[in-house]
Amino acid sequence: MKKRSTEVIQKMDASKQFCPYLECTSRGQIRQGNIVIHQRSRPRYKCKTCERTFSAKAGTAFEGIRKPEELFITVTSLLSQGCPIQAIVYTYKLDERTVATWRDRAGRQCEKVHQAMIEQEKLDLKHVQIDEIRAKAKGSVLWIGLGIMVKTRLWIAGKVSKTRDRNLADQLLQQVYRCCKKWCAILICTDGWKPYPNSIRKVFREKVKETPGPGAPRKVIWPDLHIGTVIKRTVKMRLKEVDEQVTHGTEKMVQKLLTLSRGGSMINTSYIERFNGTMRERLASLTRKCRHASAKEEAFHTGMYLVGSVYNFCTAHHELSKSTTEWGFGWSCTPAMASGLTYHVWSVKDLLTYKIVPPLLPIMKKKVGSCNKKEHNLSVTKKRVVRLRKGVLCSTI
């Protein structure tokens, strides 16, 4: 017991903690002296600003878990590599609902990490490919839209929908938009699904006020936006012809972006199709003709973020890890490292314990000017109004 207590004491460091409560004026501030150690037996900290305490696990996937952390990490790692829930239940003698809850908890944590690190309008995407996966659930069919950055193989967008319609394309492309620098040159390659070109033009545009004065600003499409479409024609379930088209933009710029991103010599969707295979392999509920299909849409949503985040931050990519002579980085490199988001390969524990710093509380500006508003005299009674109701005059206030 003494060894355990000393380990807990060594791990507690109030200088690296911040107040997680959004109502606190010192939220998100690190090394400001407002966080102190409150309890060591059960590691808790206290904020001197709002006088509230919080657990050392607050803001992580381990908050509220009563089982050992090593077991939670092991189960999450197995789920991220395609192990069915039934196999985990049989091996570790856990309840099936417990494993499903852990999967959803880890998926929500990975979604927060994805939004905090990738969806920040900072990536120079250059070449993006998007596609959909048809997923078979219990009693229904779901569609999963995915997007990938070709140069670094970074998974940047994912959306689960019950229908394959324009809303799915719009929401998927809005997520791609949140990852991309504004007004940068970008090539988006898609298959022959009709909603894609219009959705891309709808999302990748900005408000520009050309003339001063009243009136709404005009929405201008990015001048360096390019759309490539790959149409595959099949005869009796066999591929017979592939047609590449430049739906928006110029062919010269499309070829330049393909060269800069090393995405091949012609318009294609091979990289996103390869990632679709990775997603089907590692997300057990996407396996074709299986007996462990999920019944809820949330299971696909959280499972997608769990698999995608482990792929981005914790898995060294084979092509990116090649030597420099073979267009690689020369060391074990993940898509997040290739994109400049991190400088080391994360473990699953690092992903599950990553704390999202809340935004600082905005400073309210004082309004300048005298307040000469007339106070309403509540003692003055309102005039009586005479109304006709069913042929009878009645007065109301």
Q: How confident is the model at residue 396 (pLDDT cuts 50, 70, 90)?
A: very low
- Specify the higher pLDDT residue, 220 or 288: 220
Residue 290: in which H helix or E strand, if any?
A: none
Instruction: Return all residues near 376 (Cβ < 8 A) that are at least 6 apart.
Output: none
Instruction: Quickly count: other Cβ atoms within 10 Å of residue 135's Cβ.
Output: 23
Question: Is the distance from CB of 146 to CB of 132 less than 8 angstroms?
Answer: yes
The pLDDT assigned to 392 comes to: 54
In CATH, the architecture of 108-210+217-352 is 2-Layer Sandwich (3.30)
The pLDDT assigned to 189 comes to: 96
341-385 tens-digit pLDDT: 999 999 999 999 999 888 776 665 555 554 554 444 444 555 555
The pLDDT assigned to 376 comes to: 47
The pLDDT assigned to 300 comes to: 93
Q: How confident is the model at residue 223 (pLDDT cuts 50, 70, 90)?
A: very high
| For range 84-91, the mean pLDDT | 92
In the predicted model, is pLDDT for residue 10 greater than 80?
no
Q: What is the rounded distance in angstroms from the CA atom of residue 193 to the CA atom of residue 173?
A: 14
- Specify the higher pLDDT residue, 19 or 360: 19
The pLDDT assigned to 289 comes to: 67
Averaged pLDDT score across all residues of the chain: 87
Write down the pTM of the prediction. Answer: 0.86
| Residues 188, 193, 199, 205, Cα dihedral to 10° | 30
Strand partners, 137: 140
182-216 tens-digit pLDDT: 999 999 999 999 999 999 999 999 999 888 888 88
User: How many angstroms separate the Cα of 92 from the Cα of each of 69, 75, 77, 348, 392?
Assistant: 14, 9, 14, 19, 79
Q: What is the rounded distance in angstroms from the CA atom of residue 188 to the CA atom of residue 89?
A: 42
The pLDDT assigned to 8 comes to: 42
- Ordered by start, the domain boundaries in the chain are 1-56, 108-210+217-352
